[in-house]
Structure 1
Amino acid sequence: MDTYQIRVNSEIGELEGVIVHSPGKEVENMTPKNAERALYSDILNLSVAQKEYGHFKNALAKHAPTFEVRELLQDVLSNQRVKETLIDHIFDNEHTMASRHFLLGLSDEELARQLLEGVILVKDNLTKYFSKERYALRPLHNFFFTRDAAMAVRDKVLIGRMANQVRGREALIMQAIFDYHPMFRTQTVNPVQHATFNDKISIEGGDVLVAREDVLLIGTGTRTSSQGIDFILEQIESKEQVRHIIVQELPETPESFIHLDMVFTFLDKNKCMVFEPIVMKPNRYQTVHITIDNGKVNIKNEKNIVECLNNLGFDLEPVFCGGTKDPWAQEREQWHSGANFFALAPGKVLGYARNVYTMEQMNKHGFEILSAEDVGSGKVDISKYEKYVVAVEGSELPRGGGGARCMTMPFKRKPITW
């Protein structure tokens, strides 16, 4: 078995390892009544979503080793102590009517499946009989967005403190994988287990971007709190070099603004994707620059993310989500994750094909548009292209509320020479 030292010093370094979770029955295990509780505004067609995801994953696997949450979880559950500890943590974290004895009696494969897809409530007493719940442990409807529950930042893994209780088990599973799977060498940092934890701390991976080894971008809004960013600030040591955190305030509505990577992502050393109304135009959402130098913290406002990064030695040109001409097109494509790109290497990215105005802008900036289906099947030879977008057909996946960056948890990237 190959082993991996966790190392992510940028958003665009050539990908060397990534974790994904192919959507399964947990996506289908909801009704219109509980969709909102599951953080969905609609119910996905699983068979279509799986077909689209298959093209996405196959294209991803052409670039780097790609690992499934389900298989990694099954591996760590083979350790009885890990299995018992994880189940104890889940029971501590969730109000459940599941049987600990029943779960421990399942095979590793079946336990992994039920922890992801949900544990059916057996109505063997009156309280359970009266319960309106279908599940003793609810399905993890959102886990195909693997970005949020764990973040590789430099050589460590920051475990998410999810804003919604319905996603808490995702973080516990990811921590168990990084703590106990023999493939990974790293140290996890979990806010909940830290001495300074307070209940106002929330951190999700869609809000945390590693711009450079010394620069983090973090969004704050409905999913990542100012207290969560303060926790990250406390973890940063700046004895050897100055560190920077650039914080972007996000709107609370609509729900398409849940994370920073829905309005800003990196494409190349000198290109970034932006949703212009939030990132570039004057508005009431602050851009705040935190500098940590030898233990001293300085905080000031900046004009916008791009200008702040360029003042720190970047040379970024913004590409506009939804194009430059029509605000309605910008809003519509942002809603369907038009700004949410995932870098496979500098100038080589994944995104949704449906956002046609965004793709036109990418093409104008020198990116060839390649079909994910053609890349995954080998019909297109990616080695012949220096700069490209692998375009994923998406009718169902975007309706889950996320794009290519949301669906990936990279844990190793090659260093960038800036």
Structure 2
Amino acid sequence: MTNNISVYNEIGQLRSVLLHCPGEEIENIVPDYLTRLLFDEIAFMKQAQKEHNQFASILKSEGVEVLYLTELMAEILEIPEVRNQFLEDFMSEGRVATEGLRAALREFFAPMAPLEMVKKCINGVKKTEVKEITKKSLGDMIKNPYPFYLDPIPNMYFQRDPFSSIGRGVTLNVMHSVTRNRETLFAKYLFDHHPRFKNVPRWYNRDKTHSLEGGDELVLSDKVIAIGVSERTDAISIETVAKNILNSDESFETLLAFDIPKTRAYMHLDTVFTMVDHDQFTIYPGIEMPLDVFSIHRGKNNGLEITYEAAKLSDILKKYLKLPAVNLIRCGDGDPIAASREQWNDGSNTLAVSPGKVVCYNRNHVTNEALRRNNIEVLEFDSFELSRGRGGPRCMSMPLLRDKL
């Protein structure tokens, strides 16, 4: 099969997308470990699954091929040597250090079919599920009240972050939190072993030292990429991506680095800014005043030229996207109370399925009406539980194929 990554914009007709429907990993979040697992609240799994299925149904009704991470992973784990190596890597990254526990976990996973194994890796492995460790080290003997041998991965339904499609390649990311780094291991195995994704160029790799997360990466056009310098993406990693992409044979000419506030509420650029049409964007007004933007271009000898853009965001976007005008549609319709409330539930985190048609959470009704008033078609779905994870439709989806504009 051919390279099935092609993303040169944020709004072209979406053709193929990668999702993960939340499973029992959501049930394995308990109050004592919320912070460790990067959650503020505990979601109700069955309702979260209903909402995610609504989301997938909307995409399918728009002609989008919906692929699931667990199913793609199960296909490559049919190969015994890949399965064995994945488990060893997964245990290492899950900080399973003693040989006795590793042997017990190998025995635990051995009878599982590939799909069951993938789901169990994501769900987490409780201590009560695993047989007695026969060869114990000191680490195995010390009493530890923590209930898991392998942590659940409840953030896995945010498929935007572990890697990002840019042009015909990907950034294979380094997550800001150790808790989430195992998510990128799944992506690594897909791009190393799945026939659908052979020979995909990598603009960044997970062996790097500085964090980069997909929620900060936006492909505004076939010439312009935007990446947020955020709580979770480091300026150093952005320079690495810029050097690799701008010096490749891709069409991209400019990378815009958006320096956004470093807080959990604004954890990624796409929680405060997304593209909804050729010349229209949603934005959380709270970032407009403190926002600094830097443009990065190819320099001499494969280096970079970095310039501070001393202009309003709308003027910067007009300049680089070559547009006569840009319309910034403000989250909460500009009302500070509505904006703050709806941004917390990802009112600015839209997923475009085609130009001027976006998928949104239904709870952000003020922002959604503002979008409609600006001639954006809004496709809504329920968001009682999914929103508890602090991520919206764009966060939950990784486009693999979009039509060029």
Distance 1:272 1:31 in 2: 37
- 1:120 paired with 2:129, answer no
Assess if the C-alpha contact under 8 Å between 2:247 and 2:298 holds in 1. Answer: yes
Alignment of 1:9-408 (within 5 A): 9-63=8-62, 64-96=64-96, 97-99=101-103, 101-102=106-107, 103-121=109-127, 122=130, 123-124=132-133, 125=136, 127-128=139-140, 130-189=143-202, 191-192=204-205, 197=208, 199=209, 201-238=210-247, 243-253=253-263, 255-279=264-288, 282-283=289-290, 285-293=291-299, 295-302=302-309, 303-312=311-320, 313-314=322-323, 315-324=325-334, 326-367=335-376, 388-408=377-397
TM-superposed deviation, 1:239: 6.9
Distance 1:12 1:211 in 2: 8
RMSD: 2.0
Distance 2:82 2:190 in 1: 10
TM-superposed deviation, 1:306: 2.9
Distance 1:188 1:89 in 2: 22
Distance 2:400 2:205 in 1: 22
Amino acid at match of 1:38: L
Kindly provide the CA deviation profile for residues 273-330 of structure 1, in whole angstroms up to 9, marking residues without a partner as x. Answer: 1112213xx22x4211112256352222223443212101134311111112x21111
TM-superposed deviation, 1:158: 1.3
Kindly provide the CA deviation profile for residues 158-182 of structure 1, in whole angstroms up to 9, marking residues without a partner as x. Answer: 1110111111111010121132122
- 2:399 pairs with one of 406, 410, 415: 410
Distance 2:110 2:165 in 1: 30
Gap regions ≥5 residues in structure 1:
368-387
Assess if the C-alpha contact under 8 Å between 1:21 and 1:145 holds in 2. Answer: yes
TM-superposed deviation, 1:107: 2.5
Compute the TM-score of the two structures, normalised by the length of structure 1. 0.87
Aligned length: 386
TM-superposed deviation, 1:110: 2.3
Assess if the C-alpha contact under 8 Å between 2:246 and 2:254 holds in 1. Answer: no
Distance 2:154 2:384 in 1: 18
Partner SS, residue 90 of structure 2: helix
TM-superposed deviation, 1:222: 1.3
TM-superposed deviation, 1:85: 2.5
Partner SS, residue 212 of structure 1: coil
Partner SS, residue 319 of structure 1: strand
Assess if the C-alpha contact under 8 Å between 2:124 and 2:148 holds in 1. Answer: yes
Distance 1:330 1:233 in 2: 32
Partner SS, residue 33 of structure 1: helix
TM-superposed deviation, 1:108: 1.3
Distance 1:297 1:159 in 2: 21
Assess if the C-alpha contact under 8 Å between 1:265 and 1:272 holds in 2. Answer: yes
Distance 1:209 1:174 in 2: 19
Distance 1:366 1:242 in 2: 29
Distance 2:205 2:118 in 1: 23
Comparing 298-307 with 37-46, greater Cα deviation is found at 298-307
Kindly provide the CA deviation profile for residues 36-71 of structure 1, in whole angstroms up to 9, marking residues without a partner as x. Answer: 110001111112211111111111122211011111
Compute the TM-score of the two structures, normalised by the length of structure 2. 0.90
Comparing 394-403 with 297-306, greater Cα deviation is found at 297-306
- Give identity over the alignment, percent: 29
Amino acid at match of 2:112: L
Assess if the C-alpha contact under 8 Å between 1:19 and 1:410 holds in 2. Answer: yes
Gap regions ≥5 residues in structure 2:
none
Distance 1:232 1:305 in 2: 22
Report the CA distance shift for 1:243/1:40 in structure 2 as closer, same or farther (over 3 A): same
Amino acid at match of 1:165: V
Distance 1:396 1:323 in 2: 24
Assess if the C-alpha contact under 8 Å between 2:246 and 2:297 holds in 1. Answer: no
TM-superposed deviation, 1:390: 0.6
Amino acid at match of 1:59: I
